[in-house]
Structure 1
């Protein structure tokens, strides 16, 4: 398992560049994923999301705080999966700090009392960073023709 600073940098960089992820929580015996806008704060070792007190995420996280954040840029062939521990917070100053244009689709202002912060503290990640779809396909076709394995980019498992 890789633990290099470069691999950790790559995880944070990919997550920031992609921006949106599928947040997976556990609901009873089922896993449930939904798209969320992630705000990574490396210096705080956390990913933040704005959520609503009336959503089911709060209940799911209270029961099962282990979550997965799956970031994907299929056109660029860049992916990162981050495992971590989630918690719900009601830090009104942090809510104001995180409140941005996309949040206005759900709330009128950062002062809405139903807004909560979902904080994820990452513990492990894996990323895949390929040179792009066309190049990856060419390398796969060449590998298939020569009975070799294609080199389609970087892949690393990282302890965070």
Structure 2
């Protein structure tokens, strides 16, 4: 159990140092991937989206998602692959907590009805350190 806690702490540190991820949803029977800004608190992963985007519709059809991070410019070069489920949240407290001034380009403020948070709940994480050491975390 202690090893799992240490791994979760290490994964959270890697997430903290990666601003972006490739986020994949399922559209019909095909994967669809896009880059998104990544926000996290430990292994609680949040992505910001507009309620009117296709990805929100895709998640309502199929909540299974995949994230890949670590290779992006400014990333840690530790590769993290996350499998999980994603829900669309318009929880006001969470929206205010995640809100950043740069979102004003897309939304009128944290109370904008189109501003939603995509909450990813990891079920499996594969982590490969920059030195090539592999680890797996399973919920």
TM-score relative to the length of structure 1: 0.76
| Distance in 1 between residues matched to 2:31 and 2:133, nearest whole Å | 28
| Distance in 2 between residues matched to 1:108 and 1:87, nearest whole Å | 23
* 1:66-145 aligned within 5 A: 66-73=64-71, 76-130=76-130
Maintained 8 Å contact 2:86/2:121: yes
TM-score relative to the length of structure 2: 0.86
Deviations 1:34-92 (A, max 9, x none): 111111122xx521122111101111111111101111236753210111110111112
Matching residue of 1:17? 17
Shift of 1:156: 0.8
* 1:52-71 aligned within 5 A: 52-71=50-69
Say which SS state the counterpart of residue 87 (structure 2) adopts: strand
Aligned residues: 135
Maintained 8 Å contact 1:11/1:126: no
Higher helix fraction (1 or 2): 1
Structure exhibiting the larger radius of gyration computed from Cα positions: 1
How large is the Cα RMSD of the aligned pairs?
1.8
